[in-house]
Structure 1
Amino acid sequence: MADLLWDDVSSFFDPDLMGSLPDVRVPDASVEDWQAVLDLVVEKGWKFQYSEGETVLPVPRAETALSRPADAECADLRVWLASDVLAIFRFLDDEVIDFDVDLRELQGQERLDVFCGFLREIGRRLGKPVLMDPEGDYGHPVLGFDVEADRVVLLAEPLVM
């Protein structure tokens, strides 16, 4: 059974309402949590690419990626959940694992299921919530992985369209 039904949550995936790049995050994280996510990506066999600026490099240990100088090129990890569904992790803060997804790639039940599965995998591995906020509205999650429920749940009322 799907965590969420597209007909119930489609407004949360409307780029015009939510912004095309919502903020997805794991709060109260640590360097160890970042490393667990890197290990999970490899274990699951998801296609990925690590880069610093325009330079593609092998994936370093999390502590290395997070300890780069403040003026260094931005480090990111691109993870393809499916051939045309991309999550981009940015190594900005060891206390929050954050990544972007493009809502234009997450249209329909099948894509929603892929996305929810990804949030579940991360949440289960870390034993922590994984939250999605509208773009630019940090701290007001609309949905996320709930550790106790062991599934992705709504955290706000969907907008009526």
Structure 2
Amino acid sequence: MADLQWDEVKCFFDPELMGALPDVYVPGTSEEDWQRVLDLIEARGWQWEFRQGDMTLPLPSAAEVLFRPPDAELVELKVWPVSGVLAIFRLMAAEEIDFDIDLRELQGQAGVDTLCGFLTDIGRELGKPVLMTPEGGSQAHPVLGFDPAHDRVMLLASPL
């Protein structure tokens, strides 16, 4: 059985209500957690593209990215956990893993299942919650997320 059912959560997958790119984050992380995510990307064989400024580069270690000089160019890690579904990670601080995911690519039960699987993979690897809020929304009010205590993705807000 799927973690979440489309009919129960479709409002949280509506780009008009949530923004096309809701914010997904793992609070209370470290350089080691970032490295585990980078290792997970490679272990799962997910497609990825790492960019620093205008250059596409090999996937670095977390330490190389997180401890760059303050004036270094911005970096972005694009990950496709499945074909046609893009997550964009922003490697800005060790203390929080954050990324955007495009809701327009996650419609219907298949989209819900894809997102739940992706959040679960990351949450299980880290043993931490992976939470989703509306685009630009407050982290104090996640709408859904992976709960490591229950080992599944759960609704954290009432559907609209």
TM-score category, normalised to shorter length: over 0.9
- The corresponding residue for 2:127 is 127
Percent identity between the two aligned chains: 62
- The corresponding residue for 2:154 is 153
Counterpart AA for 1:156: A
Question: Quick one: distance in 2 between partners of 1:56 and 1:90?
Answer: 15
- The corresponding residue for 1:3 is 3
Q: Which moved more, 1:68-77 or 1:33-42?
A: 68-77
Counterpart AA for 1:143: L
**Conserved in 2, the CA contact under 8 Å of 1:81 and 1:115?**
no
Structure 2 regions of 5+ residues with no counterpart?
none
Distance 1:43 1:67, change over 3 A: same
> Which string of whole-angstrom CA distances, capped at 9 and with x for unpartnered residues, describes residues 101-129 of structure 1?
01111111111101100100000000000
Question: Quick one: distance in 2 between partners of 1:155 and 1:116?
Answer: 14
Aligned length: 159
Q: CA deviation at 1:136?
A: 1.0
CA RMSD in angstroms comes to 0.8
- The corresponding residue for 1:74 is 74
- The corresponding residue for 2:13 is 13
Question: Quick one: distance in 1 between partners of 2:157 and 2:56?
Answer: 38
Task: Give yes or no for the alignment of 1:95 onto 2:95.
Answer: yes
TM-score by structure 2 length? 0.97
Q: CA deviation at 1:83?
A: 1.2
SS at match of 2:17: helix
**Conserved in 2, the CA contact under 8 Å of 1:66 and 1:92?**
yes
Counterpart AA for 1:135: E
TM-score by structure 1 length? 0.96
Structure 1 regions of 5+ residues with no counterpart?
none
Q: CA deviation at 1:71?
A: 2.4
- The corresponding residue for 1:36 is 36
> Which string of whole-angstrom CA distances, capped at 9 and with x for unpartnered residues, describes residues 70-90 of structure 1?
222211111101111000101
> Which string of whole-angstrom CA distances, capped at 9 and with x for unpartnered residues, describes residues 3-35 of structure 1?
000110000011111111110000000000000
**Conserved in 2, the CA contact under 8 Å of 1:144 and 1:152?**
yes
